[in-house]
Amino acid sequence: MPFDPALFRQVLGRFATGVTVVTTCMGDSKHGMTANAFTSVSLDPPLILVSVDKKADMHDWLLDSGVFCVNILPEHRRAWSDWWAGKAPKDGDQFADIPHSAKETGSPVLDECLGFLDCKVWARYEGGDHTLFLGEVQEAAVSEDDSLRPLLFFASKYGKLQAEEG
């Protein structure tokens, strides 16, 4: 009996994740994509992984640019998650009204995030309908604002981290 892809997706949706925006650049052109398929890989060298659908525009951008930045979104930036999950224009400046800067690789670093990891592509691996991009971290920072909380995603819905009582 063939495996049910809808069930597979449903089960994966039961794993709570943070929400990131992966950004990249080529010259003056910039591109972003919302992603929760992100993980740490190694401390020495400092490596992270993003998994990108081969059909996504970001896939070709990463192949061509060789750089990316993972921006970890706080809960008050849900609109940014929605923006890069499909509302941002494919042509034109996706970053026109989004406060950001550039660091080591030139990839956009979004203001007011929990942190960022600015990377050069270290390796890539085929993973079915996705490519796994390993990035070697060139620069990173964490927000000094301890009041910020992460934007979470669970069962196809956004959520909030609730502090433990006691």
Question: Would you kindly state where each structural domain of the chain is located, as residue ranges?
Answer: 27-156
pLDDT at 164 over 80: no
**In angstroms, rounded to a whole number, what is the distance separating the alpha carbons of residues 25 and 84?**
15
Assigned architecture for domain 27-156: Roll (2.30)
Q: What predicted TM-score, i.e. pTM, was given to this entire model? A: 0.93
Of 105, 93, 112, 96, nearest to 138 by C-alpha is: 105
pLDDT at 166 over 70: no
Q: How far is CA 150 from CA 1, 75, 101, in A?
A: 40, 5, 21
